A and B are shown apart, each in its own frame.
Chain A
Amino acid sequence: MSTIEMSTIEVHQLSKSYRVYQKKEGLREAIRGLFHREFRTVEAVRGISLRVEAGEFVAFLGPNGAGKTTTLKLLSGVISPTSGHASVMGYIPWQRKLEYRRRFALVMGQKNQLWWDLPAQESFRLHQQIYAIRKEDFDRNLGELTEMLEVCSLLGRPVRELSLGERMKMELIAALLHSPEVLFLDEPTIGLDVIAQRTIQQFLKRYQEERNTTILLTSHYMKDVAALCRRVVVIAKGTIQYDGSLTGIVDEFSSSKLITLVLGESRNADGLERFGELVQVDLPRVTLKCGKQQVSQILAAILNQYPVEDIAVEDPPLEEVIAQLFHRVSAGEP
Chain B
Amino acid sequence: MNPITWTEFVRTRWMITKTALAERLAYRGDFALGTLMRFLPVVTQIFLWWAIFQSLDPSDPNQARLAGYSFRDMVAYYLLTMVGRAFSSMPGLSSSIAVKVRDGEIKRFLVQPIDLLTFLFWSRVAHKLAYYAIAILPFALVFFLCRDFFHRGMPDAATFACFVASLILSFVLGFYLEACIGLISFWMLEISSLLFVYMLLQFFLSGHMFPLDLLPQPFQQLVGYLPIKYLAYFPAAVYLGKIQGQALAIDMAMLVGWTAFFFFLSRWIFSRGVKRYSGFGG
Residues on A facing B (Cβ under 8 Å):
16, 18-19, 42, 44, 70, 73, 76-80, 94, 96, 98-99, 101-102, 105-106, 108-109, 111-113, 115, 117-118, 122-123, 125-126, 129-132, 158
Contact = CB atoms under 8 A, between A and B. Distances in A.
A99 B1 contact: yes
B19 A118 contact: yes
Given A18-B279, A158-B26, A78 B19 contact: no
Contact of A102 (B1, B12, B105): B1
A114 B28 CA distance: 20
B282 A122 contact: no
Given A98-B113, A115-B23, A80 B279 contact: yes
13 contacts: A76-B111, A77-B110, A99-B1, A115-B19, A117-B26, A118-B26, A122-B22, A125-B19, A129-B11, A129-B15, A130-B112, A130-B113, A131-B113
A44 to B, nearest CB: 7
B156 interface: no
Per DSSP, chain A at the interface is mixed
B114 interface: yes
A111 B100 CA distance: 12
B100 to A, nearest CB: 11
Interface residues of B, number: 29
Interface in B73-116: 104-105, 107-108, 110-114
B22 A101 contact: no
Interface string B58-79: 0000000000000000000000
A18 B111 contact: no
Contacts of B104: 109
A125 B11 CA distance: 12
A96 B22 CA distance: 30
A123 B19 contact: yes
B225 interface: no
Given A78-B111, A112-B107, 6 more contacts: A16-B281, A76-B110, A96-B110, A108-B107, A112-B105, A115-B23
A49 to B, nearest CB: 21
A126 B122 CA distance: 13
B278 interface: yes
A106 B111 CA distance: 7
A18 B280 contact: yes
